[in-house]
Structure 1
Amino acid sequence: MSVTIDITGLPTDRITVAISPLGELGMALHALAEPAHHPALQGWATAVSARLEPGLADRLCEVDFLWRATISDVFLPFAALPGQSLPGATLAEELDLLDKLTDQQFVDAALEVSCGVSYGRLAPHILADAAARDRALELVSARGPRRACFAQRLIEDPPRIRAWFRRLMEDCEEAFFADTWARLRHQLAADARHKAELLRHKGLGPALAATSTAVSLDEEAGRISVDKLTVGHARAAESGLALVPTSLGGPHLLVLHRHGWRPVLHYPLAASGMAALSSVDLLSRRMAALAHPVRMRLCRYLARGPYTTGELADAHGLTPPEVSRHLASLRKAGLLTTQRRGRYVQYQLDLGVVARLGGEFIEGVLR
């Protein structure tokens, strides 16, 4: 599974790399709402949450669906505006861009998660189509009365709710984000400059490879693939492509591919010493390999030291061919190391790989 971006006919000068204060605020709000997704940020999240005024915290809870399950596209409004190739330089400028969205664009993007609005393809707008509006309100009613009430107010009076949302983001800046952005923006700007230099001097492939091991370019097919547990598609030839780094977003690798918007790759800065991400396919093979009860028993031995096929067969009451088949599955999943001792081959569990599986599983699901 993957999200693909068709770049056939896309000139290099239509590819931009830039930082986004509003995009980073969206990531900050997500980290506050879901600290378990970001263990490295728990100290920051605890400190910020502790000093939030109760009134602001309550207002954030009212609309946390915009950033809890996924980050709403309203945090990258420049992608919806033709001719707007870059995010704003400040949060105020980005909120000005948000004000330029039509009511339809804002409502569709805001209710995307709660109301199951079609994403990535042309579909009726909630404000323009009565059936789409009724369906959205029906779906959001299952998310609780508070969220249903907010959706109803948003649909009935988009300008008022948009002004309320802008004030909420401005209050977040005053309460905690101004300090956070002042600390992060230089690092983000340096990363953006590095990716822009790679793009200029070495081409799109190396620039994408530097964003994440989950991103690949098929130059012959004219297609970018982002390895994710979802399926989506976008075209960049008409609107262009933007790369936006985030410091607070890892391990999330987000791809904005809403129909009619510019595709955006919102990628996390690589953590120092962080191992390369495994592909979703490799992660699936590893989880399947370890799920088998016989292989789980074999792993108990192999975690303690090296064993031959014959030794494992004798210890578990299996035939050597049976053991060989299970070892082949574990080897294919990259879970074993081998060493030859004369005419015998010894197998051992790669504890470094297995130790990462918990983290890799979370990264794969949230990516």
Structure 2
Amino acid sequence: MSVSIDITGLTPERIHVVPSPLSELGTALHALSEPAHHPGLQGWATAVSARLSPCLADRMCEADFLWRTTFSDVFAPFAGIPGRTTLPGATLAEELDLLDKLTDEQFVDAALEFTCQLSYDQRSTNPLHDPKMRRHALELAAARGDHQVRFTKRLLDDPPVVRAWFRQLMEDCDEAFFADTWSRVSQQLAADARHKTELLRRMGLKEALKAISGAVSLDEEARRITVDKMAVGHHVTGDGGLVLVPTSLGWPHLMVLHRYGWQSSITYPVNTPGLAAPASVEQLTRRMAALSHPVRMRLCRHLARGSYTTGELADAHGMTAPEISRHLSVLKKAELITTRRRGRYVQHQLDLSVVSRLGSEFIEGVLR
């Protein structure tokens, strides 16, 4: 399983390594909402959370599905600008201006990407114009919770109002905590970007990608980048560019933007903090037996990012609900997942406090 990028015709001058303030803000928000994904940032997350005003914290919760279970492409608006050659802005304000340049259709598509069921790299009908897709979007939102339903209805009814609300939220997050964080990490990101750019110039794309991550490789003959992930996707750069975006807060996530019609982009971590000690031999044997099936491994990729219903997982994997239930039962008996009921929905989620003890390779694999 992998995500591939066809770079046929891509010239060196259309490959750029550029930090992105808005992308880093999205990563920061994710780390605040899912501290278990980022053991090395727990001190930072605790300190930031402690000084957030209750009002801002509540507003962040209204839209946390944009960064909690997925990394919404609203945090990479440069990739959606026509021509597919725009670069991230130097400041958060510049990137929010780029966000304002996206069409309502683009913003809605990116903002509604909060479930595991989507046709991300294919042309799809927009719910702003198609009643059937609108109903489907609301059904998916219902499985996520009431505030997702409210947000989705607001977004579909009046996109400009929600876009203005989102921009104001990002500006308030910047004032509350991100400006200070960015002032500390931006120099590291700029230095890494300079280093990778020099690698590109002197050694070529293959060596630069190797320096980004061992999970990224280039087949020079086929002109294809392959990112080793528990996901399947394909993108063609065409006459667009390729943007490599370093992140200081993102480990272990390695994100590939391959949305249909957008510019290709890979966001990669520049550091790798340590994880907790691995599980005991007895625990490891029992739990790895549960993970020996490829379907259960793929389920873990979804369940590591958020809680999902059996029906959602069945749709995403092209299987029946009973088949998914049997796999979930095995994972639950191994104490790898937790289950909770929300109204008429039963949701399952990977227990990251347990999984973290299986070691960094597994964590990195399911969260990559």
Counterpart in the other structure of 1:209:
210
Instruction: Provide the rounded CA distance (Å) in 1 between the counterparts of 2:199 and 2:207.
Output: 6
Q: Residue type matched to 2:13 in 1?
A: D
CA drift at 1:113: 1.7
| Residue 35 of structure 1 pairs with residue 35 of structure 2 | yes
What CA deviation, in whole Å up to 9, does each residue of 1:230-251 have, x standing for no partner? 1111011222111000000000
**Which shows bigger deviation, 117-126 or 226-235?**
117-126
Counterpart in the other structure of 1:130:
131
Counterpart in the other structure of 1:18:
18
CA drift at 1:85: 2.4
Instruction: Provide the rounded CA distance (Å) in 1 between the counterparts of 2:215 and 2:77.
Output: 25
Q: Is the 8 A contact 1:115 1:136 kept in 2?
A: no
CA drift at 1:270: 3.2
CA drift at 1:115: 8.1
Query: 1:336-351 maps to which residues of 2 (within 5 A)?
Result: none
**Which shows bigger deviation, 217-226 or 128-137?**
128-137
CA drift at 1:132: 1.1
Instruction: Provide the rounded CA distance (Å) in 2 between the counterparts of 1:72 and 1:49.
Output: 22
Counterpart in the other structure of 1:107:
108
Q: Is the 8 A contact 2:120 2:259 kept in 1?
A: yes
Q: Residue type matched to 2:250 in 1?
A: G
What CA deviation, in whole Å up to 9, does each residue of 1:28-71 have, x standing for no partner? 00000000000000000000000000000000001000000121
| Residue 160 of structure 1 pairs with residue 161 of structure 2 | yes
Q: Is the 8 A contact 2:52 2:176 kept in 1?
A: yes
Match of 1:210, SS state, is: helix
CA drift at 1:117: 3.8
Instruction: Provide the rounded CA distance (Å) in 2 between the counterparts of 1:366 and 1:112.
Output: 17
Bigger Rg over Cα: 1
Q: Which runs of 4+ in 1 moved over 4 A?
A: 286-292
Counterpart in the other structure of 2:73:
73
| Residue 2 of structure 1 pairs with residue 2 of structure 2 | yes
Instruction: Provide the rounded CA distance (Å) in 2 between the counterparts of 1:7 and 1:360.
Output: 29
Q: Is the 8 A contact 1:78 1:98 kept in 2?
A: yes
Instruction: Provide the rounded CA distance (Å) in 1 between the counterparts of 2:40 and 2:358.
Output: 18
Counterpart in the other structure of 1:219:
220
Q: Please report the TM-score for the alignment, with normalisation by the length of structure 2.
A: 0.77
Q: Residue type matched to 1:43 in 2?
A: G
- C-alpha distance 272-44 of structure 1, shift in aligned 2 (>3 A): closer
Q: Is the 8 A contact 1:115 1:140 kept in 2?
A: no
Counterpart in the other structure of 1:255:
256
- C-alpha distance 104-136 of structure 1, shift in aligned 2 (>3 A): same
What CA deviation, in whole Å up to 9, does each residue of 1:45-102 have, x standing for no partner? 0000000000000000010000001210000000000244210110000000000000
- C-alpha distance 154-115 of structure 1, shift in aligned 2 (>3 A): farther
Query: CA-atom RMSD, angstroms?
Result: 2.1
Q: Is the 8 A contact 1:112 1:118 kept in 2?
A: no
Q: Residue type matched to 2:142 in 1?
A: S
Structure 1 regions of 5+ residues with no counterpart? 275-285, 293-354
Q: Residue type matched to 1:61 in 2?
A: C
CA drift at 1:133: 1.2
- C-alpha distance 272-257 of structure 1, shift in aligned 2 (>3 A): same
Instruction: Provide the rounded CA distance (Å) in 2 between the counterparts of 1:250 and 1:223.
Output: 24
Q: Is the 8 A contact 1:117 1:136 kept in 2?
A: no
Instruction: Provide the rounded CA distance (Å) in 1 between the counterparts of 2:127 and 2:358.
Output: 41
Match of 1:148, SS state, is: helix
Q: Is the 8 A contact 1:8 1:223 kept in 2?
A: yes
CA drift at 1:254: 0.3
Instruction: Provide the rounded CA distance (Å) in 2 between the counterparts of 1:165 and 1:289.
Output: 41
Counterpart in the other structure of 2:62:
62
CA drift at 1:272: 7.4
Match of 2:212, SS state, is: coil
What CA deviation, in whole Å up to 9, does each residue of 1:299-322 have, x standing for no partner? xxxxxxxxxxxxxxxxxxxxxxxx
- C-alpha distance 96-290 of structure 1, shift in aligned 2 (>3 A): closer
